[in-house]
Amino acid sequence: MEQNKPLGPLEPAESARPGVPTEAPEAGRFRAPLNPVAALFTGRGPEWVRYALLGGVLLVAALLPFVIQSDRWLTLFTIVLIYVVLASGLNIVVGFTGLLDLGYVAFYAIGGYYAAIIFVQVLKNGFGLDISEMWWLTWVNVLVGGGLAAVAGSLIGYPTLRLRGDYLAIMTLAFGEIIRIVANNWVGLTRGPSGVSGVPKFAIGDFVFKTNFRSYFLALALAVISLFVISRLVRSRVGRAWTAIRDDEVAAAAMGINTSRYKLLSYSCGAFFAGTMGVFFGQYLNFIHPSNFKLMESFVMLCLVVLGGMGGLVGPVVGAVIWITLQEWLRDFEFIQLHPEVRGMVMGIVLVLLMIFRPQGIIGGRRVPLYRKLRRERVSKE
Amino acid sequence: MEQLTQQLVNGIMLGCLYALIAVGYTMVYGIIELINFAFGELFMFGAFICIALTSSEISLFGSMVGMPQISFFLAVIVSMLVVGLLGVAMERLAYRPLRNAPRLAALISAIGMSIFLQNLAQSVFGSQQIKFPDIPVFTDSAGMAKAVTVLGAQVTYLQLFVVVVTVVAMILLSLFVNRTRLGRAMRASAQDKRTAALMGVNVNGIIAVTFLIGSAMGALAGGLYGAVYHFARPDMGFVPGLKAFIAAVLGGIGNIPGAFLGGLLLGMVESLGAAYIPGGSQYRDAIAFVILILILSFKPTGLLGSPVSEKA
Amino acid sequence: MSKSYRVLVLLFVLALAVAVISGCGEETSATTAAAGETTTTAATGGAAVPFKFGAAASFTGQYANYGGSLKGGADIAVAELNAAGGVNGGEVSYVTGDELGDPKEAVLVAQKLIDDPEVLFVDGHMFSGATLAAGPKYQDAGLPMISPSATNPDVTDLGEYIWRVCMTDQAQGEGLAAYAVTTLGMKKIAIFHSDNDYGKGLADAFEAAATAAGGEIVGREQYTDGDTDFKAQLTKIKDADPELLFLSGYYPEGSKIAAQVKELGMDVQMLGSDGYGSDELIKLGGASVEGMLISTFFDYSKVDPAIQKFVETYKTNNNGANPDWFAAASYDVIMVAAQAATKAGVNSREAINEALNGIEYSGLTGTFTFDENGDVQKPLNIVVVQDGKLVTAPKQP
């Protein structure tokens, strides 16, 4: 047991795998690489290449619904966008702060149930109000649901502060399960296993986000805003404190970082995005059910983060897009139609192979520049 | 009173099963610090192989195949061997390439293995649960489990057998890890692989042996679990795997007596919680999780775990 | 990790995959000829519109067995319809959608089926959670969905395109309570139910009706779907000493509950809900389920030629396993839709949905018509486990 390395599980990829040349020499950073894809993935190269690529990706995402014209794939991409935000939120906790969270689904559940309970259980059944008129609340909910999840995040985070590694993982897992079990059994509040149906859709006055087309753009807007906020967050002082905690908690504390506070902040920020997506999910499907929030969901989200590459901004996005799309695409094969279990087998093998060939994720973790320098010095000292 | 003794017995029996699963789990866990999600699937294969060998015929890929119908005890041993080797192969293919990679990559690889093996089992054995054949020693002629009454509580022979096996397995494994050369090499590899290698320990070999023993223990647990509850099905490993993980963490990662204690405690809490806390049967699992959280809050490294040093 | 090693790994895994896939391939050719035909798109009826439907259920994961039953029933219906020359001359086939019982996956499956213009109706979904999530999609798109087994009362409130061939929890709970208290004359009753919405909903309905009928509920406990150990709850029930133990849930847990009831030395009459009506219960429960009463809408021991033919075919296709009511209900869903299409004379979504109104159908799970809500009323049968077989119980409601 390598107990002298409490943060072992989240050791960043590059330095830990000496055989894999993932980082160019220092000088390479200033030699503009001609490969624009590499520039996007690694964050090197001139600024304008990155902005151009970012704009290109956004343009493709925005034009997608005009091109594909398929409700099925629009629904899928809406769900992909939900997972993009969930994975990016989880990445704050796992990738940037280095805390293994196996109960992230709890915050997603809190957001979803908040929207369902406030509309159906409280306003409609409790006060007998006409919820179809309260379109403004659908928007307020996104923030309130996120806020509630954030509060829950720091509450749940508090007892885990003393824990390290897998002890932390199991504790977060326990919280995640408790929330689901309560949701399944507190029938008076959550309607238990019947689920809450009739959650209203997003709307602005009479303009209801009813079609898959409108929902997709709403999800895209939410995802872009979330990713923008996250990208600012991790480049801020707070973000640097998180990466410092991930890399060396003792050193971070010695540098005057209040590690407990920043860890709680990390949980809260991560939870916030899960909460907003929970609200979106509830008001998109108009139905919330405990089986949406099974333990396996937490693992799936973790897979997305690691698959894409944790500790960067692009990784979780790529992970979510590739993985959720693959899952759906596999359904179309005639062979899988006949033998549905083969889908699971293929996905399992893909997961193992991807990890063996790209242990740092498809994209690999993109470091915040300041930290990259620090890291190298520490490695060379060792 | 009668209910209390029965509930205590229920708790101990359930706890012993959890302990047996956790003991195998924690060995692997201790040496490579991998949350081995595929352990539940090895456990499941253990149960399926036992059933296959003790039945007269079994459906494989949808067609019936004749089977040797050997005795349960022999079947368990064969199944331990097969699953042990499967564990070694799994380590070689899916985990060893990732030994120096970030630990989360190995965790995801384990999840992938778990998904793959579970669906493979469905492909091979079908989606319906299959029956565990009655074991003559533990069943009467009518096919009912033989039982004795102890202080008003009903205990089946099979359950007593499970308790004995669990305690013996725990003691033997502890002795093995603490008293033998191989065990010492294991502990050394667990602490520091590089230094252990410098001291002449074949670390890869040691890890393979650990997987062999740990997976075989998983098969043993799977076989007994299947026999106690008379069934096997492709998804049967997920919950016990999770319980084993909890028990192992509760006891202190890599600590064999700790895993035993953790499993026992988990079983007791589930049984007594469901029985004596109002609304307990609805919140049975939640109660166990609350106890887990409380214990970890006061003992952050588990019941018997050694304290984690701050970064050295 | 050398490069050659990785290639080795890759080759191994590929070999494994090929082995497995070829293994599955053999199965297709060997056993389910019906399934093989289903996905061939070559139309036999010339220009006739093919009669294609979607089978949406959980075919993998924790609830894979129910999806397996649904598929088993569907295969027989497809083979029979095709043998009879198709529906309105169109070849009968289906596509599967695996939703794992998960509401989000169910929505994706629904959207996939809706997008396929050839799909005329949906056989599924099986669980209420998935059904309630996917239902609105079908309703909006105008694709009829006929659930074989979603019993939640909310389901058919979703709209005119949503149907089901099973009874609501309310109706079954009342029927069973009357049976237990009045017909059997058992007053001290304990309830042990699953935590899913079927188990809980049925238990609620039963409890209310039994209390109203003069019975006394001496204990009510719950278990989680997928649990294997029930002794804590059962010991508590044993202490309350009921005459009748009402079990509301599905058979995979049911067989284990029955075994543990016997292991605890309890002497109680067990009455299982319709989720228990499967041969699997007996196969797994063995001697311990002997004497258990089970409510069912599909009594396969009945000497009805249609039922016997179905049972025989199912056994041949599935290595001798008897069909459960999920399979029978799935068969009925397809047959009732085929009857509707024949009545309308056109293979289209709209026509089938229109014709389902006021259709009179007589099938494996009884004779029924849909009410204005899309629900059915069916006679409740009670079967009993006797000598390892489900047979019609001497006392019927």
Q: What is the CATH number of the domain that holds B71?
A: 1.10.3470
Which pLDDT band, with edges at 50, 70 and 90, does B307 fall under? low
List chain C residues with CB under 8 Å of A70. Answer: 115
B309: in domain:
no
**Measured between alpha carbons, how far is B38 from B110 in angstroms, rounded to an integer?**
6
Q: How many residues are given for chain C?
A: 397
**Measured between alpha carbons, how far is A245 from A249 in angstroms, rounded to an integer?**
4
- What's the mean pLDDT in B92-113? 90
Residues paired with residue B153 on neighbouring β-strands, in sequence order: B150
Q: Between chains, do B62 and C27 touch, taking CB under 8 Å as contact?
A: yes
pLDDT at position B234, please? 92
pLDDT tens by residue, A74-86? 999 999 999 999 9
Through-space distance between the first and last CA atoms of chain A, rounded to whole angstroms: 21
pLDDT at position C379, please? 79
How many Å lie between the alpha carbon of B59 and the closest alpha carbon of chain A? 16
pLDDT at A123 over 80: yes
Give the type of residue at C390.
L
The pairing of strands C381-386 and C188-194 is unpaired
Closest listed residue to residue A107, CA positions, set A148, A139, A142, A167 = A148
- What's the mean pLDDT in B68-77? 91
Query: A123 burial class (0-12, 13-18, 19+ CB within 10 angstroms)?
Result: middle
Contact status, residue B84 vs residue B216, Cβ threshold 8 Å:
yes
pLDDT tens by residue, C68-107? 899 999 999 999 999 999 899 899 999 999 988 888 899 9
- What's the mean pLDDT in C383-392? 88
- What's the mean pLDDT in C356-371? 88
**A267's tokens:** 């949980």
- What's the mean pLDDT in B245-269? 91
Give the lowest-confidence range in A315-319, B252-256, C382-386: B252-256
**B209, HSE (Cβ side, Cα atoms, 13 Å):** 18
Crossing angle for the helix pair A212-235 and A259-285, to the nearest 10 degrees: 170
pLDDT tens by residue, A282-304? 999 989 999 899 999 999 999 99
pLDDT tens by residue, C33-77? 333 333 333 344 446 889 999 999 999 878 888 898 999 999 999
Give the type of residue at C29.
S
**Measured between alpha carbons, how far is A35 from A28 in angstroms, rounded to an integer?**
13
The beta-strand segments (E) located in A118-263 are: 196-197, 203-204, 207-208
DSSP C376: B
Indicate the average pLDDT of chain A. 83
Q: Where are the alpha helices (DSSP H) in chain B?
A: 2-32, 39-54, 72-90, 103-125, 157-179, 181-191, 193-198, 203-229, 238-251, 256-276, 284-298
Number of H helices, E strands in chain C: 13, 14
Q: Which of B93, B119, B271 sits opposite C232 (nearest CB)?
A: B271
- List all chains that touch chain A, counting a touch as 3 or more CB pairs closer than 8 Å: B, C
Q: Between chains, do C61 and B284 touch, taking CB under 8 Å as contact?
A: no
Q: Which of A184, A331, A338 sits opposite C195 (nearest CB)?
A: A184
Q: How many residues are given for chain B?
A: 312
**Measured between alpha carbons, how far is A367 from A374 in angstroms, rounded to an integer?**
11
Crossing angle for the helix pair A71-91 and A47-68, to the nearest 10 degrees: 150
Query: Is some CB atom of chain B closer than 8 A to the CB atom of C26?
Result: yes
pLDDT at C316 over 80: yes
Which pLDDT band, with edges at 50, 70 and 90, does C287 fall under? confident
pLDDT at A31 over 50: no
**Measured between alpha carbons, how far is A317 from C320 in angstroms, rounded to an integer?**
49
List chain C residues with CB under 8 Å of B287. Answer: none
pLDDT tens by residue, B263-300? 999 999 999 998 888 888 889 889 889 988 898 888 88
Contact status, residue C390 vs residue C294, Cβ threshold 8 Å:
yes
**Measured between alpha carbons, how far is C207 from C322 in angstroms, rounded to an integer?**
31
Which pLDDT band, with edges at 50, 70 and 90, does A40 fall under? low
Element (H, E) at A47: helix A47-68
- List all chains that touch chain C, counting a touch as 3 or more CB pairs closer than 8 Å: A, B
Q: Where are the alpha helices (DSSP H) in C146-276?
A: 169-178, 197-212, 231-240, 251-263
Give the lowest-confidence range in A186-195, A329-338, B118-127, C225-234: A329-338
Instruction: Compare all CA atoms of chain B with the CA of A166 and give the residue at the minimum distance.
Output: B249
Residues paired with residue B154 on neighbouring β-strands, in sequence order: B149
How many Å lie between the alpha carbon of B46 and the closest alpha carbon of chain C? 17
pLDDT at C301 over 90: no
Closest listed residue to residue C52, CA positions, set C122, C99, C131, C109 = C122
Task: Give the fold, CATH level 3, of C170-296.
Answer: Rossmann fold (3.40.50)
**Measured between alpha carbons, how far is C295 from C244 in angstroms, rounded to an integer?**
14
**CA B253 from chain center: how many Å?**
14
Closest listed residue to residue C74, CA positions, set C143, C124, C142 = C124
Residue with the bigger pLDDT between A41 and B235: it is B235
pLDDT at position C303, please? 77
Q: Which of A8, A159, A341 sits opposite B119 (nearest CB)?
A: A341
B6: in domain:
no
How many Å lie between the alpha carbon of C289 and the closest alpha carbon of chain A? 28
pLDDT tens by residue, B7-23? 999 999 999 999 999 99
Query: Is some CB atom of chain B closer than 8 A to the CB atom of A166?
Result: yes
Contact status, residue B37 vs residue B114, Cβ threshold 8 Å:
yes
Q: What is the DSSP string of B237-287?
A: THHHHHHHHHHHHHH-TT-HHHHHHHHHHHHHHHHHHHHHSTTTTTTHHHH
Element (H, E) at A337: helix A334-338
For residue C310, report the phi and psi dihedrals to the nearest 5 degrees.
-60, -45
Contact status, residue C184 vs residue C395, Cβ threshold 8 Å:
yes
- What's the mean pLDDT in B160-177? 93
Closest listed residue to residue C108, CA positions, set C98, C121, C122, C117 = C98
Which pLDDT band, with edges at 50, 70 and 90, does C15 fall under? low
Residues paired with residue C96 on neighbouring β-strands, in sequence order: C55
Query: Is some CB atom of chain A closer than 8 A to the CB atom of B291?
Result: no
Instruction: Compare all CA atoms of chain C with the CA of B126 and give the residue at the minimum distance.
Output: C65
Instruction: Compare all CA atoms of chain A with the CA of C22 and give the residue at the minimum distance.
Output: A335
Q: Between chains, do B192 and A13 touch, taking CB under 8 Å as contact?
A: no
Q: How many domains does chain B have?
A: 1
- What's the mean pLDDT in C141-170? 89
pLDDT at position A326, please? 92
Query: C37 burial class (0-12, 13-18, 19+ CB within 10 angstroms)?
Result: middle
CATH class of the C48-167+306-368 domain in this structure: alpha beta
Which pLDDT band, with edges at 50, 70 and 90, does B113 fall under? very high
**Measured between alpha carbons, how far is A109 from A195 in angstroms, rounded to an integer?**
12
pLDDT at A206 over 70: yes
- List all chains that touch chain B, counting a touch as 3 or more CB pairs closer than 8 Å: A, C
pLDDT at position A183, please? 93
pLDDT tens by residue, B206-227? 999 999 999 999 999 999 999 9
Query: Is some CB atom of chain C closer than 8 A to the CB atom of A287?
Result: yes
pLDDT at position C32, please? 37
* Residue A166, C-beta contacts closer than 8 angstroms, at least 6 positions apart: A9, A100, B33, B35, B249, B253
pLDDT at position C184, please? 92
Closest listed residue to residue C362, CA positions, set C375, C351, C376, C349 = C376
Query: Is some CB atom of chain C closer than 8 A to the CB atom of B13?
Result: yes
Which pLDDT band, with edges at 50, 70 and 90, does C5 fall under? low
Angle at A63 between CA A59 and CA A66, to 5 degrees: 175
Other Cβ atoms within 10 Å of B239 Cβ, number: 17
Question: Interface pTM (ipTM) of the complex?
Answer: 0.88
**Measured between alpha carbons, how far is A288 from C179 in angstroms, rounded to an integer?**
35
Q: Which domain holds residue B286?
A: 13-128+161-298
Residue with the bigger pLDDT between A49 and C383: it is C383
**C363's tokens:** 């099938």
The top-scoring range by mean pLDDT among A32-41, A270-279, C226-235, C369-378 is A270-279
pLDDT at B311 over 50: no
**Measured between alpha carbons, how far is B83 from B214 in angstroms, rounded to an integer?**
10
Domain ranges of chain C: 48-167+306-368, 170-296
pLDDT at position A41, please? 54
**B149's tokens:** 């009454």
Whole-number Cα distances in Å, B171 to B76, B189, B217: 19, 21, 13
pLDDT at position C233, please? 92
How many Å lie between the alpha carbon of A101 and the closest alpha carbon of chain B? 11
Q: Between chains, do A6 and B120 touch, taking CB under 8 Å as contact?
A: no
pLDDT at position C128, please? 85
Contact status, residue B270 vs residue B289, Cβ threshold 8 Å:
no
Which pLDDT band, with edges at 50, 70 and 90, does C244 fall under? very high
Query: Is some CB atom of chain C closer than 8 A to the CB atom of B33?
Result: no
pLDDT at A45 over 80: no
pLDDT tens by residue, A319-349? 999 999 998 899 888 888 788 889 999 999 9
Contact status, residue B45 vs residue B219, Cβ threshold 8 Å:
yes
Query: C41 burial class (0-12, 13-18, 19+ CB within 10 angstroms)?
Result: exposed
Give the lowest-confidence range in A364-378, B129-143, C51-65, C151-165: A364-378
B136: in domain:
no
Query: Is some CB atom of chain C closer than 8 A to the CB atom of A340?
Result: yes
B71: in domain:
yes
Angle at C46 between CA C41 and CA C48, to 5 degrees: 85
Q: Over the range C223-245, which residues count as b (16 or more CB within 10 Å of their CB) and which as e?
A: bbbbbbbbbbbbbbbbeeebbbb
pLDDT at position B299, please? 85
